[in-house]
Amino acid sequence: MPSSSTFNVVDTTIADIHAAYQDGSLTARQLVQMYLDRIEAYDKNGPQINSVISINPSALDDADRLDKALADGGMVGPLHGIPLLMKDQADVDGMPTTMGSVLFKDHNPGRDCTIATKLKDAGAIFIGKATLGEMGAGDSHGSLYGSTRNVYDLERTAGGSSGGSGAAVSANFATVCIGQEGFASIRRPSIWNGVAGMRPTAGLVSRHGVYAGWPMINGSLGPMSRTVADMAKTLDCMVGYDAADPVTARGVGKAPESYADLLDKDALKGKRVGIMRTPMGHRTEPDSEDFAKITALFDRAVGELADAGAIIVDPVEIPGMNDLLDKRARNNTEENQSFEDYAAGGANTPFKTRAEIMASPLFQETAHGVRTRWKNEDTSKEFGEYLHARDMLMTRFLATMADHNLDAIVHKAVEHQPTLIKDGINPPHIDQWGAPHINTFLIFVPSVVVPAGFTTDNLPGGITFLGRPYDDANMINFAYAYEQATHHRKIPDCAP
């Protein structure tokens, strides 16, 4: 077996890995073992980042199978031998789906979600599951595992709900991680852990076999990675129509043949970028010193966009934006049906309905955010007002882009710095602080986040590229151009 002693796994890319496979200096088994060793050293021990909730017992066998395929004829797909971690609310055969909760501790659904199948067909290896905000709610605290630590300050939260995915990919526990976002659950933990991430436009990526899927439509699965190129390559293997998730019918014909093939480091040159400065994050505090530190970072980023060739339109405003965002509401009927469909699709589901979950004594052991959110029953009138507000905000958003002839809107990825774990699990129960959610309010628009450096507290911040419906390719390309012009990614000291 060739020696992998010369291969540096830290901040490696899909391209680096494939080059090493091709020249015989690395095998998939060796790479998987490197990631497993790092998880043991830095996630379970050492700084105890606590971002990986379970390990795939078949990961090394899967690697051996792919190594044999390469020796027998070549790579099986564009993600051949690429180790991934999946947020633990999506089913991967042979592994539990726990939602980070004691409620689902022994839940082994015995199936692949659609995206797990697609990624496996592309050659990816699932090495484990990542932690999350329990039941997909809020920052990454869960009754089954505790709290996930931020890789740049271990006393702070990794964010959520895809906090495990953000921390794990930043700490180099996998090449790419998969997150899921229904509020700001990919974008915020990506930026708070210094990586790129995106919530694709709803309808591009199937959520079949994923908790909180159809008939709910605000959530999307998306890639989280250390480079925008790896994000694009992963997304290429995720998009497509799936009859089991009808919202994907909206995405038919809306994706290019390859997002990755369109990447251009000069993509920002001559593009009109509107700067949205209106505070809009969840429970944001615009007059605070913390908010000011993010603003200073954001101001630098706007200058860097101009340096990269963008034509800056600063500021732009969407009339009545926050009044409309305040109308956000949930459809309890859809949410109940979504869970029942998910539970019926797999094996060993301990509960058939959400009502059964809330009636269980174990429900009282769940994280504060779960109990608070699940007991909030919006009325049909409130949901109707939200639908009207959503339609109105989409029109005003598109009109703002048209009035200024914009190619994208840029806003702060998160309006505050990462919060302390102790303040999240105890009163005042700070959660999702400063998280913008305009994209998941509108649903059918893409958002891509990319690191923009560090504040004076040495904590990460970033920017969001927000675009028109299904303009995911341009948002990815603009993020790539900004990344290539700035190179703000920084390897966390806690996992060298």
> How do residues 371-420 score in pLDDT, each as one tens digit?
888 877 889 999 999 999 999 999 999 999 999 999 999 999 999 999 99
At 195, list the tokens. Answer: 């990586």
Query: For residue 199, which of 173, 167, 238, 157 has the smallest C-alpha distance?
Result: 238
- For the chain, the farthest-separated pair of C-alpha atoms sits apart, in whole angstroms, at 65
Tell the burial category of 78 from Cβ atoms under 10 Å away from its Cβ (0-12, 13-18, 19+).
middle
Cis peptide, bond prior to residue 215, ω within 30 of zero: yes
The class (CATH top level) of 14-316+332-377+404-486 is alpha beta
The residues facing 464 across adjacent strands are 411, 449
Query: For residue 176, which of 4, 19, 14 has the smallest C-alpha distance?
Result: 14
Q: Kindly calculate the radius of gyration of the chain based on its CA atoms and give it in whole angstroms.
A: 21
Q: Would you say residue 184 has pLDDT above 80?
A: yes
The type of residue at 490 is: K
The residues facing 208 across adjacent strands are none
| CB contact at 8 A, 335 and 354 | yes
The catalytic residue among 51, 143, 185, 225 is: 185
**CA 415 to the chain's CA centroid:** 17
* CA–CA separation, 137 and 149 (whole Å): 17
User: What is the chain's mean pLDDT, rounded?
Assistant: 96
Q: Transcribe 133-189 into DSSP letters.
A: SGGG-SBSEETTTEEPEETTEEEEE--BSSHHHHHHHHTTSSSEEEEEESSSTTHHH
What DSSP designation does 200 have? P
Residue 161 catalytic? yes
Q: Would you say residue 2 has pLDDT above 80?
A: no
Q: Would you say residue 351 has pLDDT above 70?
A: yes
* CA–CA separation, 173 and 168 (whole Å): 5
Backbone angles phi, psi at 153, to 5 degrees: -160, 105
Q: pLDDT tens-digit profile of 409-454?
A: 999 999 999 999 999 999 999 999 999 999 999 999 999 999 999 9
Residue with tokens 């994000």: 231
Q: How many residues does the chain have?
A: 496
Give the residue extent of every domain in the chain: 14-316+332-377+404-486
Residue 54 catalytic? no
The catalytic residue among 101, 140, 147, 161 is: 161
Q: pLDDT tens-digit profile of 118-153?
A: 999 999 999 999 999 999 989 999 999 999 999 999
Q: pLDDT tens-digit profile of 36-60?
A: 999 999 999 999 999 999 999 999 9
How confident is the model over 459-466, as a mean pLDDT? 98
| CB contact at 8 A, 133 and 139 | yes
The catalytic residue among 87, 118, 293, 412 is: 87
How many other C-beta atoms lie within 10 A of the C-beta of residue 404? 14
Residue 87 catalytic? yes
Helices of type H across 73-159: 114-121
Q: Which of 184-188, 314-318, 329-333 has the lowest mean pLDDT?
A: 329-333
| CB contact at 8 A, 271 and 477 | no
